[in-house]
Homo-oligomer: A and B are copies of this chain.
Amino acid sequence: MRNLIADFIDHLLPRTHARPEIQHLYDLMRDYPQRGGKMLRSQLLLMVSEAFGGSVSQALPLAAALELFQNWVLIHDDIEDDSEDRRGIPALHRLHGVPLALNAGDALHIYMWQVVHQAGVQGAFEEFLDTIHRTAEGQHVDLSWVTHNTWDLKEADYLQMVHLKTAHYTVVAPFRLGMLAAGLQPDPEIEAAGLKLGAAFQIRDDVLNLIGDPADYGKEIAGDLLEGKRTLVLLHWLGLATPEQKNTFLQVMTLPREQKKTEDIQQILGWLQESGSIQYAQTIADEEARAGLALIRKVLSRAPQQQVAEQILTLLEQLATRTS
């Protein structure tokens, strides 16, 4: 399935131009799609469509569009977070500078709409509009906490941000688009199920960012701390930390990434590991995953292709319990 999607994108994007500068733009547009991401969301979309009796030819353009969405958003996210690496290679703006990378993200963005438009699947255009709007809202919430140095946040704040920023496009959108591609109205229970599953995946990702194996994880360990990202682990720990620890932490977090010292980050990592907050976050992730899987199992029980439905459940379970 990954090859199908990758080939679709490869044929879609412009490849060569006589003017070397424009050729260079095309190379930048193809960079992230060629880095071989996991394509989880787009594969999920294809599987859901298949489970509900849809054809690959209907679902494939939407899967490719979702993959293009993921890629242009990542180019812009990496600028916004000033991330170092993406899929084990320096982020696009670190290779070519912010101006060219930002513009290449915009150029990629319009190919997403081209595919959605050409697919002509009833309701899919509105689904993409809604998904991107929510993602931008979640991204704004997350970034504004970083920009304005906001740490006075509750678990509910974090979950609302993650629902908007990640959960919708990671689970809700693939399920809804998959059903649309199969010519069906999306099941209303997808929303609640997807938000829980998406939150579970994100919390697990946050934990792996702290304790994962760098060789497996593909991003920098503790990158979220360097970028000042709010996570459930940190918000929980802030409720337990001593005033001195909290002071040190908040001071380090006011610094720009380059000025954060390795020993400070290591010290904070140590505190987090001793505090039990990582285990707490994992417990919440497990609960969200269990509830989400139960709901999505109900949705999938109505699918005619039960073999594919089982594969989807297995995939979602793996994601919810992944250790790398």
CB pair B139–A103 under 8 Å, yes or no, is yes
Question: Which listed residue (B99, B100, B109) contacts A109, Cβ 8 A?
Answer: B109
CB pair A140–B80 under 8 Å, yes or no, is no
CB pair A143–B99 under 8 Å, yes or no, is yes
A147 in contact (CB, < 8 A): yes
Docked complex: A99-127 residues within 8 A CB-CB of B: 99-100, 102-104, 106-107, 109-110, 113-114, 117, 125
A136 in contact (CB, < 8 A): yes
Taking the closest CB of chain B, its distance from the CB of A62, in whole angstroms, is 15
CB pair B80–A136 under 8 Å, yes or no, is no
Instruction: Report the stretch among A16-24, A206-214, A264-272 that lies at the interface.
Output: A16-24
Question: Which listed residue (B110, B144, B145) contacts A129, Cβ 8 A?
Answer: B110
Give the interface residue-count category, chain A: 35 or more
Contact pattern, A 141-154, Cβ under 8 Å of B = 1, otherwise 0: 10111110000000
Taking the closest CB of chain B, its distance from the CB of A63, in whole angstroms, is 19
A76 in contact (CB, < 8 A): yes
CB pair A106–B137 under 8 Å, yes or no, is no
Docked complex: A1-55 residues within 8 A CB-CB of B: 19, 21-22, 24-25, 28
- Interface residue ranges, A against B (CB under 8 Å): 19, 21-22, 24-25, 28, 73, 76, 79-81, 96-100, 102-104, 106-107, 109-110, 113-114, 117, 125, 129, 132-133, 136-137, 139-141, 143-147, 160
